[in-house]
């Protein structure tokens, strides 16, 4: 018969870690998406030589491993004496990391809208803002959504790296329990199951919206 030393308080500890993972992911994806939309529109709208500094910074965030970004971000805030908590530092770094990828997703989505469609909208008297809001945004969202869902799921898994800043999220909580209880397979199985349970609804929502917005429907 299977026996385990895992108690209800240990499960509550894992649940707290899962809540921290969700909180870091939600804040980072929300802030990163807002920044990504802003930067994506800027990169699409203005000539490349005007946006060269922005492009360089975003390339840095896409090229440097996230763990290095977290360590350097934590060191920088310490040097500047900002006094940020590990949660704040994690969210700031992950938000910029998300924004770097979301920018290209948004730019690609806008670029997928046929120029003739935009010219037709402007010929009907629409302003630039009306064109972006009523024509470009709906069409670009359909194209960008699957990639954005993939980015969200990736950020959720990458958030496990914030344990290096001392933040007790789901993976760190499971590591603490493994060290104390010496039941690695069982605890990591629970950890993996929790990751699946919090990721699956996001993936299914993306599939539902993609099917609902399919032009063949």
Residue 197 inside a domain? The answer is: no
Residue 46 inside a domain? The answer is: yes
DSSP 159: G
Residue 33 inside a domain? The answer is: yes
pLDDT digits (tens, 9 = 90+) for 17-56: 899 999 999 999 999 999 999 999 999 888 888 889 999 9
Range of the domain at 71: 19-169
Residue 1 inside a domain? The answer is: no
Residue 11 inside a domain? The answer is: no
Residue 206 inside a domain? The answer is: no
* Rounded Cα–Cα distance for residues 2 and 192 (Å): 19
The CATH number covering residue 116 comes to: 1.10.3720.10
Number of domains in the chain: 1
pLDDT digits (tens, 9 = 90+) for 126-148: 888 888 888 888 888 888 888 89
pLDDT at 215: 58
């Amino acid at each position: 018969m299977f026996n385990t030393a895992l108690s209800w308080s240990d499960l509550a500890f894992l649940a707290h870690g899962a809540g921290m993972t969700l909180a870091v992911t939600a804040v980072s994806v929300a802030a990163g998406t807002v920044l990504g939309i802003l930067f994506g529109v800027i990169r699409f709208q203005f000539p490349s030589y005007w946006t060269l500094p922005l492009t360089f910074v975003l390339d840095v965030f896409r090229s440097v491993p996230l763990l290095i970004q977290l360590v350097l971000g934590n060191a920088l805030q310490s040097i500047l004496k900002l006094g940020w908590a590990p949660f704040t530092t994690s969210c700031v770094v992950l938000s910029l990391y998300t924004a770097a990828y979301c920018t290209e997703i948004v730019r690609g989505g806008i670029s997928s809208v046929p120029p003739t469609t935009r010219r037709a909208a402007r010929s009907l008297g629409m302003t630039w803002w009306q064109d972006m809001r009523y024509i470009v945004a709906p069409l670009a969202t359909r194209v960008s959504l699957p990639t954005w869902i993939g980015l969200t799921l990736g950020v959720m898994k990458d958030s496990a790296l914030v344990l290096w800043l001392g933040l007790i999220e789901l993976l760190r909580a499971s590591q603490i329990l493994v060290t104390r209880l010496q039941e690695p397979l069982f605890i990591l199985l629970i950890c993996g199951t929790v990751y699946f349970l919090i990721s699956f609804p996001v993936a299914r929502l993306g599939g539902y919206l993609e099917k609902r917005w399919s032009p063949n429907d």
